Amino acid sequence: MQTFFVEIKCALGRTYEVANALAEAEIASEIYSTAGHFDILAKFYVEAGVDIGHFVGERVQIIPGIVDTHTLITFKAF
């Protein structure tokens, strides 16, 4: 399994709508609201070999209300 996080910037007033859409899609294992440059931090797991760029582009960025994303790929948990 590959683990990665996506910081999500939402259109004004649409954070909860985006978070609910992520939850309903059942693609993120954890979803948090955050303060700062991004509104949501979501944790994802995909099978080894899955192209994370395509996953984010085809499964995450298509959610209405998302303005921008920043993907953080992880290597090892301690």
Measured between alpha carbons, how far is 16 from 1 in angstroms, rounded to an integer? 28
Measured between alpha carbons, how far is 63 from 22 in angstroms, rounded to an integer? 8
Q: What count of other Cβ atoms lies within 10 Å of the Cβ of residue 40?
A: 21
Q: Which sequence spans correspond to the domains of the chain?
A: 2-73
CATH topology for 2-73? Answer: Alpha-Beta Plaits (3.30.70)
Q: What is the pLDDT along the chain (78 residues), one digit of tens a residue?
A: 999 999 999 999 999 999 999 999 999 999 999 999 999 999 999 999 999 999 999 999 999 999 999 999 999 889
